Amino acid sequence: MRLLNTGLYFRATFAVKTYCSFTKAAVFFEGTIMSAEEIKYEVEMLTDIISIDEYVSHFLDVDLFVSCCRQCPNYGTVWSCPPFDFEAADYWKEYDSFEVYLARVIIDPAAREVVYGDDEINDIGRRVLQKEKNALMKKLLKKENAPDRISLLAGNCRLCGEGNCARKTNEPCRHPEKMRYSIEALGGNVEKMIKELFGYEMLWAHNGRLPEYYLLTAGMLIRK
């Protein structure tokens, strides 16, 4: 565990190895997914907590990330994505701290030796990450045990399936009790945050080979 004096309080990053549990620690468990062959992986869960003032000053760039969102087909068609009827920066400032969760999906070395086709490798990455995103979402929603907590999840909402959000037909969200915004949609620089808080770089499939790991980020906004 490392302790960083932020000037406001001590920030702790936990990396304790446990099995089949979800705590403020690193959690390892195995998963499999079928494609051309069985893909094995394990998930390491890391957590950190940072004050909102520090997060806003170091990692928030609403204009940059909203401009990126405008290039995405989900812009204006998915309720978890911009544009919003509120100011993203103000959303952060309603809270006092941000508990960050990083899931490092570590691919089995044997699977990384295989060369896959473009469609196959994209399918593997999409299925693995969606499975782990769903698991993380369920666990964080359970941790919202008080009105002063709200979670932020990885990527856009897919509760209604890809391309089926009610926003496309100007209808209200079908699952407002479960829909959550992503860190990026609210202007957070996830890549910079991961590097500075946890020391990891984002990796992607390259030349038909799976990366050493994929990264998923989520978090919990907390009001005192």
Secondary structure of 158-206 in the HEC alphabet?
A: CCCCCCCCHHHHCCCCCCCCCCCCECCCCCECHHHHHHHHHCCCCCCCE
Q: Is residue 153 part of a domain?
A: yes
Q: Is residue 117 part of a domain?
A: yes
> What's the pLDDT score for residue 1?
35
Q: Is residue 93 part of a domain?
A: yes
Summarize pLDDT for 19-49 with one digit per residue, the tens: 322 233 344 444 433 353 478 899 999 999 9
**Residue (of 58, 76, 56, 79) closest to 66 by Cα position:** 76
Percent of the chain scoring above 90 in pLDDT: 57
Q: What is the mean pLDDT of the chain?
A: 83
Domain of residue 193, residue span: 2-60+86-158+182-222
Domain count, the chain: 1
Q: Is residue 125 part of a domain?
A: yes
**Residue (of 41, 132, 139) closest to 99 by Cα position:** 139
pLDDT average, residue stretch 183-209:
94
Strands 17-19 and 213-222: unpaired
Q: Is residue 128 part of a domain?
A: yes
For residue 77, give every residue at least 6 positions away whose Cβ sits within 8 Å of its Cβ, in sequence order, or none.
Answer: 165, 167, 168
pLDDT top residue among 141 and 23: 141
Percent of the chain scoring above 70 in pLDDT: 83
Q: Is residue 167 part of a domain?
A: no
Q: Is residue 66 part of a domain?
A: no
Q: Is residue 207 part of a domain?
A: yes
| pTM metric for this prediction | 0.80
In the chain, where does DSSP find H-type helix? 52-59, 62-69, 88-93, 109-112, 118-143, 190-198
Crossing angle of the two packed helices 52-59 and 190-198, in degrees rounded to 10: 120
pLDDT average, residue stretch 168-186:
93
